[in-house]
Structure 1
């Protein structure tokens, strides 16, 4: 693994960083204060992201994306992650790579418009009774008209990110039971304006102000046979493939926020004086900075190593789980220590630290809790021994 960045990688980092500082940072105060990302502001940022070549950068070149390798994509995500989540995730969309599993007709209808900024997707897996246990979901899709027919969908999903801005939903639903009595799931592409689809406001969240979640009800919704994404009964595998890359995305954005918090802490420790000297000279502060920097570096190396292995085709679920686990828990530590170093001002909204601290909490929950990541890692260690 080469630890040096190529000229192209350095350029992408610089362009992304400049965009974040110029186009996203100035709007953070508004979004944090109001809790809303105005649709017209989101549209304005999307147009600028398109012009800057940052839109759909996670997609391969053959479908109109930037074709970034995974390591470069992680570096890009790290820079975006420094900003308010709603601004960078909704303002600089990265369509779900699960759409790459579609037929050419599905790509024409859904993927290419997402890449071109004409449509927005959302993913619906989580239910009130099924979070980490995907096979516990109850939303069902029943085939109509025999083999080759369409489907009737009934059920409800919640915690569906930015569904209120989306044009269609990538839906995972139960379509059968296997020989072991486990639910078989399939994935569908469903337009949100289809008859029987009802979108409701979700829950108020302490983390990521301006980034919405919704509840989606499916009341006897009919979709044609062309709505099936991938193979029938293979939705679990398809979702698992998608979750791998998004867990790296979570890790990368955590790195960005931690770096921003550390930079602010270093600056404060070097300039804030107490008892006649900068507070960074006191071991109680200086050692905090050392621990924050060490944990950040360790998480960054683990994330980049997992990304590198992903590019080589050798990454395991455990590699990605360890990266997400380390980066999310590192961010919690760094955010907390950053506030401690700043004292009372750290909790004031004049600085982004209280926001970073609040936002850090959700990272250990979504896209697989820390407990799920530990389960994945421990299972990978014990299974070869038959345990």
Structure 2
């Protein structure tokens, strides 16, 4: 693995960071204090992101994206991650890679409009009674002639309120397994406005203000077979094939926020004086900075090693689980210590630290909890011994 950045990668970092600082940072206070990301602001920043070549940059070049390799994409995500999540995710959208699994007709209807910024998607898996256990979902899709009828509820569905369509995973049957019956899963495209499909307001969230979650309700929602994404009963395979790297995306955005928090902590420790000297000269503060920098460096190496291995075709679930686990738990630690160094001022919203601290909490839950990541890692360690 080459630890140096290519000239192209340096340009990606510089361009993305400049965009974040000039176009996103100025709006953070408004979004944090109101909890609302205005539609006109979304459109304004989206237009600038498209002009800068940063919109849908996660997509392959042959479908109109930037065609970034995984390491370059993670560098891009890291820079975007410095800003308020709603601003960088909603305004500089990265359509779900699962759209690439669609048929040519589905690509025309869903993928390409998302890449052009004309539509936006949301992904619906989680249910009130089935979070990490996707096989435990109760929402169903039952075949009726050439159609499918969907019933049930999904929740915690990010930005579904502004999405034009949802990619929905439903239990569509059962099959035998060594542990008994288990659900078969099928994925569907469901357009906003489809009869029987309702989007309701979700929950107030301590993390990521302005980035909404919704409750999706399906009441005899009828869809033609053309709305199936991938193969019938193979939705789990589709998800595993296309969504694996999302754990690395979470890790990369955590790196960006941790770097921002550490930068504030270093600057404050160098400038703030107590007892006639800079507080950074006290071991109680200087050792915190050293530990924060070390943890951040370790997480950075793990995320980018996993990204490099992804491009080589050698990455494992264990690699991505370790990277996600380390980066998310590192961010929580760095954010907390940065506030401790600032004292009471760190909790005031004049600085981004209290926001970074709040936002850090959800990272250990979504895209697979820390406990799920530890399960993946330990299972890989024990499997060679038949355990």
Pairs aligned (count): 384
Once the two structures are TM-superposed, the CA of residue 270 in structure 1 deviates from its matched residue by: 0.5
Number of the residue aligned with 1:163: 160
| Aligned equivalent of 2:173, options 176, 180, 193 | 176
Does the 8 A contact of 1:142 with 1:175 survive in 2? yes
The CA deviation at 1:20 is: 0.2
The answer to whether the Cα contact below 8 Å between 2:98 and 2:243 also exists between their aligned partners in 1 is: no
In structure 2, distance between residues paired with 1:223 and 1:130:
23
Q: Tell me, in whole angstroms, the C-alpha distance in 2 between the residues paired with 1:98 and 1:366.
A: 18
2:290 matched residue in structure 1:
290
**2:364 equivalent in structure 1:** 364
Runs of 4+ in 1 over 3 A off after TM superposition: none
Shift, 1:179, TM fit? 2.1
Kindly indicate whether residue 213 of structure 2 is the aligned counterpart of residue 213 of structure 1. yes
CA distance in 1, matches of 2:121, 2:385: 42
Q: Which residue of 1 aligns with 2:35?
A: 35
1:250-279, CA deviations, whole angstroms, 9 ceiling, x for partnerless residues? 000000000000000000000111111110
TM-fit CA distance, 1:239: 1.6
Query: 1:59, 1:65 within 8 Å by CA — same for their partners in 2?
Result: yes
The reply on whether 1:131 has 2:128 as its aligned counterpart is no
CA deviations on 1:52-74 (whole Å, 9 max, x unpaired) are 00000100001100000000000
Correspondence for 1:274: 274
TM-score by structure 2 length? 0.99
Deviations 1:85-129 (A, max 9, x none): 000000100000001000000000000000000000000000000
Match of 1:304 in 2: 304
The Cα shift of 1:244 comes to 1.5
Q: TM-score, normalised by structure 1?
A: 0.99
**TM-aligned CA deviation for residue 238 of structure 1:** 1.6
Q: How far has the Cα of 1:144 moved from its partner?
A: 1.4
Shift of the alpha carbon at 1:243? 3.4
CA distance in 1 between counterparts of 2:239 and 2:318 reads 16
Unaligned 5+ segments in structure 1 are: none
- Note the aligned Cα RMSD (angstroms): 0.6
Shift of 1:225: 0.8
Q: Greater shift after overlay, 234-243 or 343-352?
A: 234-243
Report the Cα offset of residue 246 of structure 1: 1.0
Alpha-carbon displacement from aligned partner over 1:194-223 (angstroms, at most 9, x marks no partner): 011111000000000000000010110111
Asked if the contact 1:243/1:367 (under 8 Å) is kept, the reply is no
Moved more, 165-174 or 230-239: 230-239
Structure 2, unaligned runs of 5 or more: none
Question: What CA deviation, in whole Å up to 9, does each residue of 1:135-181 have, x standing for no partner?
Answer: 00011111111xxx221111110000000110000000011111221
Query: Counterparts of 1:52-71 in structure 2 under 5 Å?
Result: 52-71=52-71
SS of structure 2 residue aligned to 1:164: coil
In structure 1, what is the Cα distance between the partners aligned to 2:365 and 2:104? 35
Structure 2 Cα separation of the partners of residues 241 and 337 of structure 1: 37
Tell me how far apart the structure 2 counterparts of residues 15 and 31 of structure 1 sit (CA, whole Å): 23
